[in-house]
Amino acid sequence: MFTNKDIKALLWPLILEQILTGIMGVADTFMVSAVGEASISGVALVDSLNVLVLYFLSALAAGGTIVCSQYIGQGDRDRARLSANQVMMASLALSLVCCSVLAALRRPVLRLIFGTVEPDVMDAAQIYLLVTALSYPFLALYTASAALHRAAGNSRRPMIVAAAADILNIAGNAVLIFVFHMGVLGAALATLASRAVSAAWLLAHQARPGQVFSLGPMEQFKPDRAMLRRIMRVGLPSAVENGMFQFGKLAVQSTVSTLGTTAIAAQAVIATMDSCISMPGVAVGIGLITVAGQCMGRGDPDQAQRYMGLFTRISAAVSLAMCLVFSAGAPLITRFTALSPEGVRLVCRITWFVCALRPLLWPCAFTLPNGLRAAGDVSFTMWITAASMWVLRVGLCWFLCRYTGAGLWGVWIGWCADWVLRAACFLLRAKSGRWRRFNVLA
């Protein structure tokens, strides 16, 4: 049983961390946008790939979090620590593969996904992809270690580390872009440095004796097939789900790239603000994985269901607050960009449209299914996400942009339709109780 004090202690650092990350992301985007529309367009294209890698790493870490949380719920700290070490090892291995492939094949990959774009946009994208790909191993170690800290109920430490890394990233951008005039390369190097520092800092804390998930002896980093199967049984469907979700976003981005540089730049700003708005809700969903996972580990699905409803309502409340802030602030935010007047109008109007619908739909579409995943009901969430993504977010978007002339509006109409279908399916699944029959640790 988690008290209100326990929940506040878990959620406030998570929410603050996500808000700070979102604010820093906005500042990062605007700093790059000051270089010109070609630079921000190149960064936006590459960030779609970078987020895909991050989603895979986060899904693997989430699988480990679910397994570790359930072991903690059972009171089995030794197996929780073993599973943590296996997650760290698997995350690092996956990141090294992604780093090698994308760094070596960056130009063919960009051409394959985004087709023919303007030469200056492609040049910026190649530079940014090469340097940020080198940061993947650091990102993997930080993501896994932060997830494990949260599974143990310590969300304060990752918040401190993330905030310091964000400040370092912004400071690096300011110096490398505006003082040394390094443009996109400067932004990429600042990202690399901040990820390296955050990974080293969090691992140093995790290595201290007495931590719930302190780094174990080297033999625990050798593959343990039984433990990896448990982690992959939860993490792999989540990774596929996240991968399909991001591939769908890449398909949408490919459609956006045909609408011209103004639409690409406007989409980059809208997507950045949308990401900021969603971050507190994402934080609540991360907390739900820990809480529901421990409840299921104790064999108490009734409490898990209670917390699913509570955390979904909290997510709706913070989403409403963020939407009010960004709806009012959109005209001011666009003044700090190099967007054309047409781009500014697109950003403001689409932001207002999305903010009107988000508090009603997004929490049930994205926060609630984290409770289902924590119980082990990962295949259902995977199939619903994939179907909704490709039919509505990708298919409807493509149809509206190509055959109706809706332009960038078609993209966001498709996104909101995707939210409607997900919310309906996950609400029905939660009420059905079928997720109660799963046993992650079997």
Which of 412, 307, 304, 299 is CA-nearest to residue 361?
412
The first and second tokens of residue 167, run together, are 């400040």
Mean pLDDT of 128-154: 91
User: Alpha-carbon distance 389 to 387, whole Å?
Assistant: 5
> Distance between CA atoms of 267 and 284, rounded to whole angstroms?
26
Helical H runs in 134-217?
136-151, 156-173, 183-206
Q: Cα(192)–Cα(175) distance, rounded to whole angstroms?
A: 15
pTM, 2 dp: 0.80
What tokens were used for 63? 């699988």
Closest alpha carbon to 342 in 263, 405, 401, 406: 263
The answer to whether the CB of 194 falls within 8 A of the CB of 170 is no
Q: What is the pLDDT of residues 239-273, one digit of tens each?
A: 788 777 777 777 887 788 777 777 888 888 888 78
Q: Which of 278, 313, 380, 307 is nearest to 69 (CA)?
A: 307
Residue 237 half-sphere exposure toward CB, CA atoms < 13 A: 20
435 — alpha (psi -120 to 50), left (phi > 0) or beta?
A: alpha
pLDDT digits (tens, 9 = 90+) for 53-84: 888 888 888 888 888 888 888 888 888 888 88
Question: φ and ψ at 98, to 5 degrees?
Answer: -60, -40
- Please measure the distance between the N-terminal and C-terminal CA atoms of the chain and give it in whole angstroms: 23
Q: In the predicted model, is pLDDT for residue 218 greater than 60? A: no
Residues 6+ apart with CB under 8 A from 107: 122, 126
Report the mean per-residue pLDDT for the chain.
87
Query: 3-class DSSP state for residue 222?
Result: coil
Sequence spans of domains, the chain: 4-437
Please count the helices (runs of H) and the strands (runs of E) in the chain.
16, 0
Q: Which helix (H) or strand (E) holds 69?
A: helix 37-74
Burial (CB < 10 A; 0-12, 13-18, 19+), residue 280, is buried
Amino acid at 179: V
Over 60: is that where the pLDDT of 400 sits? yes
More confident position, 231 or 420: 420
Contacts 24+ apart (CB under 8 A), 72-76: 72/151, 72/152, 72/212, 72/294, 72/297, 73/293, 73/294, 73/295, 73/296, 73/297, 73/298, 74/297, 74/298, 74/441
